Amino acid sequence: MWQLLQVATFFFYLVPSGLCGNLRCFFRPILEKDYKLDPIVTECPPEEVCFKAEGRFGNFSALSAKGCLPKSVCSLEHDLSYKGVMYKMRYACCDRPYCNSCTGLVANTFVVTVTLVTVAVMVGS
């Protein structure tokens, strides 16, 4: 039974993204950095990658966001007006599923699940 659950988890997480070829990332709109909001899983359009953004006001990190961006935008920095204040937005991009998560529970659970499923499939063969 446990092995069946592991294989089902493998297909639920990895097969759909492999079939469509689109990257899955976390989405969080631009908000104040201290504002707590659980990110939402989104599927990026073709040719886009995951990103984490930081909005700075001087030396103070005040805004954050997550989502999908075209690769060409990843290395750019631009000014953004948010609630009447100008911030410098910087983007860090990556091209693996869910790579724009924090190092928290969701990322670790996903890695552990994938590892367990891989081991189960290898042992079952």
For the entire predicted model, the pTM comes to 0.63
Distance CA 7, CA 77 (A): 42
pLDDT digits (tens, 9 = 90+) for 101-112: 874 434 444 555
Residue 125 has pLDDT above 70, yes or no: no
Topology given in CATH for the domain delimited by 2-124: CD59 (2.10.60)
Residue 12 has pLDDT above 60, yes or no: no
- Give residue limits of the domains in the chain: 2-124
Contact between 68 and 44 (Cβ < 8 Å): yes
Instruction: Tell me the pLDDT of the chain averaged across its residues.
Output: 78
pLDDT at 41: 95
Distance CA 23, CA 42 (A): 8
Residue 16 has pLDDT above 50, yes or no: no
